[in-house]
Amino acid sequence: MLDEHRAAQRERILEVALELLEDKGMAVLTMSSLAARAGMSRATLYHYFPDVDAVLAAWVGREMERSLDAMLADARRVSDPFERLALLVDSQVLTFSSQHHRLSAEHFESEAVAPAVRAEVERRMAPLRELIALTIGEAQADAGVPERVDPGLAADLLLGLLGAARRRLVAGSVAPAEVTAALLGLLRNGWLARPGS
């Protein structure tokens, strides 16, 4: 019962933090404003989060968990590594271009350098990175492709390219299908190109 109450309170605080950001922006998000909006004392708020960065990290982690868990589960059910890569790339592109992601990017972009937020993003992205690396290794083996690049490095580079495209997707200046086609084309014609093709 106590754990359920604590979890519900944390969720409430995260929702209130987002409401504050939507209404007033990052500059007014303080522990005092958050406690007042949530209808609790600052002392109570500090029982759940030590500072604003911890609140932001928890919110980012929750949102990433929601989107990544389903994506990874779907991808793991795909046996063909080329199809799995296509699903992973397309899913990330669609996530970045969603209205929900655009809204969160507007408020959290400036917090990307906060150590707590950065650490949470890296922690949540680790399973995706590992699956991409594994899949690239499988795709190279299945196609008889000589290892042109270490699968771990390839995963980092692919995620970097997705990150670069993310800014344009959030801005709405590029179509999701165009980004997916460009990235999959790079994979098929580069690291995963069959010899002689």
Q: Do 40 and 124 belong to one domain?
A: no
CA–CA distance, 16 with 150 (Å, rounded to integer): 44
81 is a domain residue: yes
> Which pLDDT belongs to residue 111?
44
Q: Do 144 and 182 belong to one domain?
A: yes
> Which pLDDT belongs to residue 106?
54
- When pLDDT is cut at 50, 70 and 90, the band that residue 134 belongs to is very high
pLDDT digits (tens, 9 = 90+) for 31-89: 999 999 999 999 999 999 999 889 988 888 888 888 888 899 999 999 999 999 999 99
Are 195 and 145 in contact by the 8 Å Cβ rule? The answer is yes
**For residue 167, pLDDT beyond 80:** yes
Are 101 and 95 in contact by the 8 Å Cβ rule? The answer is yes
Considering only residues 26 and 139, tell me which one the structure prediction assigns the higher pLDDT: 139
**Domain of 11, in residue numbers:** 1-49
Q: Do 77 and 27 belong to one domain?
A: no
* Unique residue bearing structure tokens 């209205």: 99
Q: Do 24 and 103 belong to one domain?
A: no
Q: Do 60 and 34 belong to one domain?
A: no
Are 31 and 51 in contact by the 8 Å Cβ rule? The answer is yes
Structure pTM? 0.78
**For residue 181, pLDDT beyond 90:** yes
Are 37 and 20 in contact by the 8 Å Cβ rule? The answer is yes
Report the residue count for the chain. Answer: 197
In a 3-state reduction of DSSP, which class is residue 78? coil
> Which pLDDT belongs to residue 173?
93
129 is a domain residue: yes
- Mean confidence (pLDDT) of the chain: 86
Alpha helix (H) residue ranges in 77-114 = 81-97, 99-108
- The domain tally of the chain equals 2
Q: DSSP character for 193?
A: P
CA–CA distance, 86 with 168 (Å, rounded to integer): 20
**For residue 144, pLDDT beyond 50:** yes
Q: Do 161 and 66 belong to one domain?
A: yes
194 is a domain residue: no
Report the CATH number at residue 166. 1.10.357.10
Q: DSSP character for 28?
A: G
Report the CATH number at residue 18. 1.10.10.60
